[in-house]
Amino acid sequence: MSLKPCPILINGNWSVPETAETSPVHNPSTGEVIAEVPHCGADVVDAAVNAAADAFEGWWQTPPIGRVRVLMRYCALLEENFESLAAMIVVEHGKTITEARGDLRRGIEVAEYACGITDMLKGEVLENVARGIDCSMVRQPIGVCVGICPYNFPALVPMWMYPMAIACGNSFILKPSEKVPLTGIRLIELFEEAGLPPGVFSVVHGGKECVDALLEHPKVAAISFVGSSAVAEQIHRKGTANGKRVQAAGGAKNFVVVMPDADVGQAVEGLTDAAFGCSGQRCMAGSTAVTVGAAADTFIPAIVDSARSLPVGPTHQSTTAKLGGMTTAAQRDRVAGLIQAGVDEGCDLLVDGRGVKVEEFPNGFYLGASVLDRVQEGMRVFDEEVFGPVLNVMRMDDVETAIEMAGRVAYGNGACIYTQNGRIAREFRHRVKAGMVGVNVGVPAPLAYFPFSGWDYSFFGDLHLQGRESVMFYTRAKVFTERWFAPGEGDVWHKDD
């Protein structure tokens, strides 16, 4: 079959470079290869960075309202092309159409938020810091910014980065995941259509060689990364060693505590989405349910029934499937191996999603929902981020023990509690060690106006993605101290001296 090309973008020109290495893009529902991605080397990265550096000089001088007008046209084009973009996410990622629409909608909300940059870039002024001397501060863009993205949210994660970077006056280089590049390419085509000048945006593809070249290039000012914690730590270390500003979001182990007084229906609905939505391939997945006391008696049978009822199927053809294929066969096999590790270490496998078959597409990367009960600290499924449709269940006697257990985990993305007791909820949200906390919600991911606030091994850097922290990340402060003299005032120099 004819494969869809994956071009790069440099200085306004799309092209497909000849590279020594390529990698396939699959339709997870069928297993077929739908595109080939070129792996760019240092020479291509150098050309992209130099073009971005040249374009930056003109773009940052564009008045903020002019940049906003481009963004507003971009938002309109995203809405006009919303369904075709969502369908593209379904085909290359495997999400359901509902999940794909959510992926895209959350990304658009960041672009909409970026349209308010004229207010967010306002500086500060203080008159008479000393007699006749005024002090003021403005924020200016930092230059060439880079976004290195994972495969799990083809629209949202890139749009966490580039709308705010470009609104602040920077140029931007996107390296989408080589597993799901098609959505990112189309998003940038629409940005060009909105009137973004050539060179302000570049697109490159590849693996380690490409990433290393971006991290080492002297003209790159900032790196934004989302991916596993192990890689995030490496990106942060190498980027900062090369003088870059770096924000690197990593993985997670997110706990959802279910109290005995919780509304079981709400808890099951929330955990079903949190654990199995997007096939569990998200860093905010509610991957571990912690039942407190008698909550286990009602919650566990109900979540088992819910997991068993989730239909698996080809999301590019079906609107009834709740779980599609996992994005890659390798990830499906890894998750299946972790399920077996849980069984081997003594867990009770209440629902087994391995071996699920979709007759019309036997080569799809399918894995059904799974539930492992009686998970304990120290097991592989407890220690590792599973990143698949697997719910771990732990049983504890009291909420204090649950809070203490969560505090021992290296990660710190999200934590939630289901309860009708305000005092317990307040104590939990105050004390639990996580940057994003939910009460009676399964996924506490914030909207565009707040930072995506991971802690500890879930984030490396100082300033987070999203919200006003992104403005601070993509700009730097310049402070003016000014004094103006009247003619002859303070003139102590004499020509006869």
Catalytic residue among 6, 40, 283, 416: 283
Active site residue 283: yes
Round to whole Å and give the CA distance between 381 and 392.
8
Three-state DSSP class for residue 258: strand
Spatial neighbors of 479 by CB under 8 A, at least 6 apart, are 135, 136, 137
Round to whole Å and give the CA distance between 212 and 148.
11
Is the alpha carbon torsion for 184, 187, 191, 193 positive or negative?
positive
Residue located via tokens 């929902």: 369
Residue 238 burial by Cβ neighbours in a 10 Å radius (0-12, 13-18, 19+):
middle
Comparing C-alpha atoms, which of 297, 302, 273, 293 is closest to residue 285? 273
Comparing C-alpha atoms, which of 449, 385, 73, 121 is closest to residue 229? 385
Comparing C-alpha atoms, which of 106, 202, 226 is closest to residue 155? 106
Residue 122 burial by Cβ neighbours in a 10 Å radius (0-12, 13-18, 19+):
exposed
- 167, 114 Cβ separation under 8 angstroms: yes
Strands 201-203 and 171-175: parallel
Residue positions annotated with a catalytic role: 283
